[in-house]
Amino acid sequence: MKDKIALFVFTVLLLLTGCTPAKRDTGVNKEIERKVDELVRKMTLEEKLGQMNQISSWGNIEDMSNLVRKGQIGSILNEVEPARINAMQKVAMEESRLRIPLLIARDVIHGFKTIFPIPLGQAASFNPALAETGARVAAIETSSVGIRWTFAPMIDISRDPRWGRIAESFGEDVYLTSVMGAATVKGFQGDSLSDPTSIAACPKHFIGYGAAEGGRDYNSTNIPERQLRNVYLPPFEEAVKAGAATIMTSFNDNDGIPSTANAYLLKTVLRDEWKFDGFVVSDWASVTEMISHGFAADNAEAAMKAINAGVDMEMVSASYIGEAPGLVKEYKVKESDIDEAVRNILRIKFRLGLFDNPYVDVPQKEVFYAPAHLADAKEAAIQSVILLKNEKNTLPVSASVKTVLITGPMADAPYEQLGTWIFDGEKSHTITPLKAIREMMGNEVQIIYEPALAYSRDVNPAGVAKAVEAAKKADIILAFVGEESILSGEAHSMAGLDLQGNQSDLILSLAKTGKPLVTTVMAGRPLTIEKEVNASSAVLYSFHPGTMGGPALADLLWGKAVPSGKTPVTFPKMVGQIPMYYSHNTTGRPATRKEVLLKDIPVEAGQTSLGCTSFYLDAGFDPLYPFGYGLSYTTFEYSNIRLSASKLKKNDTMTIEFDLANTGQVAATEVAQLYVQDKVGSIARPVKELKRFARIELQAGEKKTVSFELPMSDLAFWNIDMKKEVEAGDFNLWVAGCSQSGTPVSFEVID
């Protein structure tokens, strides 16, 4: 209550004094700038380089404290003990010459203790409020131990599921990633960075990392500037607009230039164009890795290139503090550039309120796994699950079902269910599907549990036979398969995307029993599961759903909740189709989907008798599931799409209205999606692009009129002249529940 009074008083004072709070901590705060300049003026070169130096906690607090005392450390990552953090902050604040607080950092990607679905799962919810809530919960738990900086959100556009880090992304789409990324920044940073529960966000990895060639992590990318501008940069621009305090560079070299030394990106785009006033941190040792790139001969050259490109803080490779004094002496680096880097760092430390109070005293037990946090995590998991198939309304499980077989390596895998990038989440707090179903249905149905396989890569044949035997006694089979968490995430690229181990054999063998088979997949990426889907009566796809994944899936399976997730990334039929994404260009010979495929090719077919369009003889053109796809326990009908105008000027805003009806028997939520196609441009344009979406709740039988506002300026793109402009011409527009559905309506933009 006292907080509310304080806020009320603060607001009244603001109104009386006429000054309003800076928008989300960006924009010049004169008082902070004065303090920053005053401090920089006092600092020696070594102290400045100390602020630019980040170490990863190596355990020995005396050693680290000695460096802190000498002013040689600006930030520490991977230290999570509040007592140790307080102790080192005390050394910084009371024993170092200039009393500059440390900035403690951690990878809190989808939760600190309470683990939310992996970001790819959160993206499937198409619910930015959910991402913001998850980030807020993570910030509250993280800041309670003294950590005030997270290396998230990861907003790399990811169109290659071989790449393990697709798990950390919001998927393939520019608009969805931009909206989810900005919401996550706001969740982490709250209304003010100075709030003790706020943590600095760090959108990463700048730039293009998700386009690693072959989906192989750390690999080169070759993204031309126009595509950078139209696809890879927009989510970062939105994150900067949302007030992101820091940005992290990416490991990859793009067109031969490692991002950690790309001055065009870090200065021209980030600083000059976007007016970013936070600080840039390298990725782990990505400064000295420029030696491995063959882009620097030694640590000195690597440090020089990174500092001169605008990387303010070096993560763990310590070349700045080691080499920069010499570089300054040799006039290879200007001390004024070092001053600018230190200003950027100190500005964020001041905004975080660390100079006033770097210490924590919140008893974590009230914060970690708070009931409200768990409830938020469960809701996030519910909304992140996608119903891919539901033959004969197998789901929700009928009340007539009295015996249930629960099987598969992911049915009771508390660690795996949490997903990748979990450093602080604890599997002991995970509620698995088995546990949740036993708790929820234990008195109403008989549950037979036969895991069949111990983990996703298990090839034990005996387990499958036991599950098949057990299935004979069951009315329905609930199989939980997927990936162990280690199979996605950093450095975990896969050349094949089939289910590992004997999981596929398990699904196909269970299908032969003729019993209704519900397959739930928990994974960090789309998998090539066409045959398992064909063998199953119903399929739920749950990207590693986190701590509360079990209760969420139990509610969905028994209909206490209704699936609403949509695919945030294209699901290929086979790896050979990759990269595959919905907003592709048409090409000069677009697939007709009437091509003759492998199985129908006549023997001795004439050379020109096949195709002549862009498709695969063996896989056709379509994916297993397109972007934006997901079923429900009800059905929806879109109708009566009407545009506020069919001809609009470039500075006009269109209102799109349509009716959406729930034509089924249960209340449910539909993710309505709005796509636009620029039919002819100064460059070839994508066949369609997502421009709006909204989650619409409808009671059974209810119909609502829904409207979107679309400024024509949102149709701007970087064109043939490398200018971001709206071009006059004809457009198509769709409103639908999937990127491949709906009937287009046309409109025209006029000069």
Catalytic residue annotation = 283
Q: How far is the CB of 248 from ligand GLC (least distance, A)?
A: 6
Least Å distance, CB 201 to ligand GLC, is 12
DSSP 8-state secondary structure symbol assigned to residue 88: H
Task: Name the residue number minimizing CB distance to ligand GLC.
Answer: 151
Of 487, 451, 432, 367, residue with least CA distance to 112: 367
Q: Is 219 an interacting residue with respect to ligand GLC (CB under 6 A)?
A: no
The correct pick among 237, 238, 253, 283 for binding ligand GLC (CB under 6 A) is 283
Judged by CB under 6 A, which of 116, 126, 149, 151 binds ligand GLC? 151
* Residue whose entry in the numeric block shows the structure tokens 């968490």: 485
Choice between 146 and 664, CB closer to ligand GLC? 146
Task: Indicate the burial class of 219 (C-beta count within 10 angstroms; 0-12, 13-18, 19 or more).
Answer: middle
CB of 155 vs ligand GLC, minimal distance in Å: 11
Q: Compare residues 316 and 510 and give the one whose CB is closer to ligand GLC.
A: 316
Contact residues for 215 (Cβ-Cβ < 8 A; gap 6+): 160, 161, 162, 163, 493, 578
* CB of 74 vs ligand GLC, minimal distance in Å: 15
Q: Which is nearer to ligand GLC, 422 or 698 (CB)?
A: 422
Choose between 215 and 516: whose C-beta lies nearer to ligand GLC: 215
* Residue 490 sits in the site that holds ligand GLC (CB under 6 A): yes
Interface size with ligand GLC, residues (CB under 6 A): 6
- b (16+ CB within 10 A) / e for 466-502: ebbebbeebbbbbbbbbbbbebbbbebbbeebebbbb
* Chain centre distance of CA 509: 35
250 vs 299 by CB, closer to ligand GLC = 250
The contacts of residue 226 (CB under 8 Å, 6+ apart) are 683, 718, 722
Tell me the C-alpha distance between 425 and 138, whole Å: 11
Binding pattern for the stretch 730-749 against ligand GLC, x by CB under 6 A and - elsewhere: --------------------
Smallest gap from Cβ 57 to ligand GLC, in A, equals 12
Q: Could you count the other beta carbons within 10 Å of the beta carbon of residue 415?
A: 17
Of the two residues 283 and 450, which places its CB atom closer to ligand GLC in the complex?
283
> Helices 371-384 & 128-143, crossing angle to 10 degrees?
150
> Which residue type is seen at 513?
T
Cα-flanking dihedrals φ and ψ of residue 642, to 5°? -135, 140
Shortest Å, Cβ 422 to ligand GLC: 13
Instruction: Give Dmax (Cα) for the chain.
Output: 86
Using the minimum distance from each CB to ligand GLC, give the nearer residue, 284 or 616.
284
Strand ranges for 356-512 from DSSP E? 386-390, 403-407, 446-450, 476-482
Check: CB of residue 707 under 8 Å from CB of residue 661: no
40/80 with CB nearer ligand GLC? 80
Q: Determine, following the binding rule CB under 6 A, whether residue 218 of this chain makes contact with ligand GLC.
A: no
Q: Using CA atoms, how far apart are residues 583 and 628, in angstroms rounded to an integer? A: 11
**For residue 25, what is the DSSP state?**
G
Does residue 314 interact with ligand GLC by CB under 6 A?
A: no
Q: 25, 47, 107, 156: which one contacts ligand GLC (CB under 6 A)?
A: 107
Report long-range pairs for 494-498 (Cβ below 8 Å, ≥24 apart). 494/162, 494/164, 494/525, 495/162, 495/575, 496/528, 496/575, 497/161, 497/162, 497/525, 497/526, 497/527, 497/528, 497/572, 497/575, 498/527, 498/528, 498/529
- Residue 284 engages ligand GLC in binding (rule: CB under 6 A): yes
The total of other beta-carbon atoms located within 10 Å of residue 402's CB is 12
Residues 6 or more apart from 152 whose CB is under 8 A from it? Answer: 107, 108, 109, 110, 135, 168, 184, 188, 201, 202, 204
Residue 156 sits in the site that holds ligand GLC (CB under 6 A): no
Minimal distance in Å, beta carbon 150 to ligand GLC?
Answer: 9
Q: Does 204 bind ligand GLC (CB under 6 A)?
A: yes
Task: Please give the backbone phi and psi of residue 140, each rounded to the nearest 5 degrees, phi first.
Answer: -65, -45
Give 420 or 520: the residue with its C-beta nearer to ligand GLC: 420
Beta carbon of residue 375, minimum distance to ligand GLC (angstroms, whole number): 28
Which residues in 457-476 contact ligand GLC (CB under 6 A)?
none
| x/- track of binding to ligand GLC for residues 381-400 (CB under 6 A) | --------------------
Q: Which is nearer to ligand GLC, 421 or 625 (CB)?
A: 421
Q: At which residue do the structure tokens 């209909």 appear?
A: 559
- DSSP H helical ranges for 56-127: 61-69, 82-94, 119-124
Q: Closest separation between CB of residue 184 and ligand GLC, Å?
A: 14
Provide, rounded to whole angstroms, the least separation between the CB of residue 204 and ligand GLC. 5
- The footprint of ligand GLC (CB under 6 A) covers 107, 151, 204, 283-284, 490
